[in-house]
Amino acid sequence: MDTDKKHCLAAALALCGLACPPLWAQGQLESDAQRLMGLSLQDLIATPVVTASRQIETRDQTPAQILVITREQIRERRYRSLADLMRDLPGVDWQGGTKSSQFNQFAVQGYVGPNKLLILMDGVRIGAPAGGNFPVADNLALYMARQVEVLYGPAAALYGADAVAGVINIITEAGQGPRGSWASVGAGRFGGEEGAFMTGLDTAQGLQLSLGGHWQRAERAPLARYYPREFAKVPAVGNGQTIIPVDQREPYVGPTASHSLYVRADWDERFTVGFFRHSFTHLTSTGDPPAMARYQQSSEWQPTSDTFHGRWRFQPAPDVQAQLLVEHSRMELDPKARYNNTFSNYQDSFSYELGKRTGLEQSLNWRISERQQLQAGLGWHQYHAEAASSLAAPYRPGLAAQGQGQLYPNTPLPRQIHDDNFRNLSAYAQLQSQWSGAFSTSAGLRLDRHSHYGSSLNPRLGAVYKPREQHVFKLQYGEAFRAPSPEETLSAYGTFSGAQDAQGNYIGSNFRIPNFNLQPEKARTLSAAWDWRPTPSLNLVTHLYHSRISRLVVTQPSGNVGAIPGAVLINPETKGNAGRQQQSGLDLSAQWRFRLGGDWTGDLWGSASWIHGRIDEGNGVDWAIPYVASHKLKLGTTLRWRNQVSITPQLYWTGNVTNGRKQGPTDPLLPQGACQGAMTAPSRCSTPGYALVDLHLGWHQLLDGRATLWLDVYNLLDRRHYAAAGSGSRTFWDMPQQPRTWMLTLDWRY
C-alpha cells in the first residue's frame, strides 16, 4: 500500500475516534466471548438466515445445505478474509498463490474457480460484474461481517447466472442497531502489515451510518531461499535466443497488497444505500517458475471493484413484504497491468479488463396462508465488458476498444481488441409449503432471457423432513447455468516474432482466438443431507451430492482460419462448449460445544470430505477434475479460559491433489516424481498431499478491557508443501507454498 493511502487511512481512523463515540455499552471485544459461552449449540443452529430462500428462516426450514458462521466464530477462528473462511469449509479445495490472473484457485465440491460461485454482500453481487474470474484473497476482508452464510448447490432459481456451486452471502453489521467502534493494527513476518477499522453513528431520527475499511501488504516469503531447486536462476530464453543471461536474472519476489472501503446508511428500516470497494495487487509472475517469467515489481495485476446499491423496503399489503433494489458495479484492471515472460519474448506486454453491471430488481414475499409463502421477483440488468491482452502499450480507457490504434508487436497488423454489451431480463418464483409440523417442501423456477444466449429455465425442488427435534432430513434438486465470461468469449492473445512465410504473412504463436458463439454451461445437482443433533451440544451433518455439467467450456484447437488478416497462426486455440463434467461426493461435518470444568469452555469443529469426478473434453480426452483432492480432513478447536485467553489450533490434511496438467513434465526444472504417466493415469499425475497446523492465541480484556492481542501462526510446523497448479509445459506444476508465517495484531475498542 502506498504512503498516501496509509496517511488517508490514519486520518480516517483519527477522525472516527473524535467524531464517533463508542456506540454500545459492553463493547464487542469482551462481549463476543461472553456471548459464545452463554449460547448453546442449538442457539447457533437457530441463527436466522436469508440466503437460502430470500426470506428470514433457520437452517432447518430450507432444503438446501447451508452453513452459518457467526461474528464470534469469525473472530475466534481468525477468519480475517473470505479466503481464510473458505479454506476451512467442508468440500472446498484451496490452492493458494497459484494463478496470475486471480492469485488463489479453489474448487467447491468439484466446481473449479470463482466464476462458478456467487459471492454477495447483503444480497448484492460483489464479484466480477460481467461474470468471470476475480481475486478471492485478502481484498475480501470480513471486518464488517455479522455472519457469513454459505449455501451449497445450484441456486440459479433465485439468483441467476453463476450460482452453480453455491452462494456465499456476507451479512454485515449495518442496519442492525448500534455495535461500536474499533480499530485493528498488525505486523508480522515477511513484511506483513495490516489495519482495519469499523465505526458508525446511530441518530434519534432513525438514521444509522456505518463506515469501515482495511489495508494489507506483505512482501511474503523469499521462496528461493526455501525452495532453491524450484527457483534456481536460469537464462531468460525467447524464440530460441537468450534474452537475459543467468547472471543478470533478478531475485524472486512475490508481494501482495489489498484494501477495501465499506460505507452504508440505513434510515427507518426502509431505505438503504451502500458502497463497497475492494482491490487486490500481486505480481503477474504468480505461479510461474524462473524459466517462464521475470519477477519484477512493475509487472503487477491490480483489479479494483466498486459496488453501489440502494434498497427500498415497503409493504404493499398486510401479508406482503416487498423491496426494490438498484445496483451498479464496476471492476477494472489497472491499464498498467503487464506481463514480462517467455510468451512476450521478455518484453512488457500489457493487459486490460473492464466489466460493468447496472440493474433493477423488484422482489416480494407473500404470506399466502399459515402454511404457504411465495417469494417472487422481476429483474433487468445491463452489462458491458472489454478485454485486451498482449498489448504493446497500456490500454487507454477513454477510447473505445476499436479505437485504441495499436499494432501487433513486430508487425504492421492492426491489433484486434473486443468489447461487448448485453442485457438480461429475469423472473423467478418459489413456493414454500409447510404441510405438517414435520414436513415441508419448496418449488422454485427462474426464467432468464439473455440478449446473446436466449432463454434459460432453471428449476429448484426441495423437501425437509423433521420427524424429531434431533433429526432433520433434506433432499434437493437444482439446476443452474453459467454464462460465458468476457475472458472466454473476447480474450485474444498471442505473439509475433516478426517472421513471415513465403506469402508474406506474419507467423503468430501461442494464440487464443475469440469465440463469440459460446453457449452457457448447464449444471444439475441432486443432494441429500442428514442433520443429527444427539445432544444440545453436538451437531453432526452428512451431505451427499451428485452433479453434472453439460456444454462445459474447454480449450480446444481453433477452426478460425484467417482470424487475423495478414497472419498465419500456428496451432491457435479457442474456447468451446465441447466438454462434460460429473462428480459425486460426501461431506461429513461436526460441531461440539463443551466445558472442561472450572473456567474452561470450548468448541470443536471439523469436516471430512470425499469426492470423485471426471471431465470429458469431447475429443477423447477424459481426466480427473483439476485442483481437487479425493479426500481431505479439516479440524479445529477453540479453548477459552475466563474470557481472558483463547487458544485455537487448526489442522488441514489433504490427500494427493489433481492438477491442471494432462501429461507428465518434460522440463527438468519442474518438480520431479509427481507425475510419470499420461492423462489416462490421473492418480499418478497429482500434487502430493500434506498436513498443516495453524495456531491462534488471543489475550483478551487488556487495556482496561478495551483491547485484545492476537498471535496468529500459520504453518506452525514449518512444513514444505505445494499447491496444485499449472497446465502449460512451462508453468509450475506443484507451486511452492509459504513457510512458517506469523502475525501479531492488536484490536482496540474506542
Q: Are 485 and 452 in contact (CB under 8 A)?
A: no
Instruction: Average the pLDDT over 324-338 and give the result.
Output: 96
Q: What is the CB neighbour count within 10 angstroms for residue 293?
A: 25
pLDDT in tens, 508-555: 888 889 998 899 999 999 999 999 999 989 999 999 999 999 999 988
- Cα–Cα distance for residue pair 122/264, rounded to 1 Å: 11
**Confidence grade of residue 728 (pLDDT, cut at 50, 70, 90):** low
Length of the chain: 750
Q: Which set of grid coordinates corresponds to residue 222?
A: 523469499
pLDDT in tens, 104-136: 999 999 999 899 999 999 999 999 998 888 999
Cα-Cα-Cα-Cα dihedral of 72, 73, 78, 81, to 10°? Answer: -90
Q: What is the CB neighbour count within 10 angstroms for residue 463?
A: 18
What is the percent of the chain where pLDDT is above 90? Answer: 70
Q: Are 202 and 178 in contact (CB under 8 A)?
A: yes
- Cα–Cα distance for residue pair 575/595, rounded to 1 Å: 56
User: DSSP label at 65?
Assistant: -
pLDDT over threshold 80, residue 684 = no
Please indicate whether residue 61 or residue 711 has the higher confidence score (pLDDT). 711
pLDDT in tens, 635-647: 999 999 988 999 9
What is the percent of the chain where pLDDT is above 70? Answer: 90
- Cα–Cα distance for residue pair 636/650, rounded to 1 Å: 4
Q: Are 221 and 739 in contact (CB under 8 A)?
A: yes
pTM reported for the whole predicted model: 0.91
- How far is C-alpha 695 from the chain's CA centre? 24
Q: Give the pLDDT score at 667.
A: 37
pLDDT in tens, 343-389: 888 989 999 999 999 999 999 999 999 999 999 999 999 999 999 98
pLDDT in tens, 383-431: 999 999 889 999 999 898 888 999 998 899 999 899 999 999 999 999 9
pLDDT over threshold 70, residue 10 = no
pLDDT in tens, 62-111: 999 999 999 999 999 999 999 999 999 999 999 999 988 899 999 999 99
- Cα–Cα distance for residue pair 526/544, rounded to 1 Å: 8
Q: Which domains does the chain have, with CATH numbers?
A: 3-749 (2.40.170.20)
Question: What three-state secondary structure class fits 247?
Answer: helix
pLDDT over threshold 90, residue 492 = no
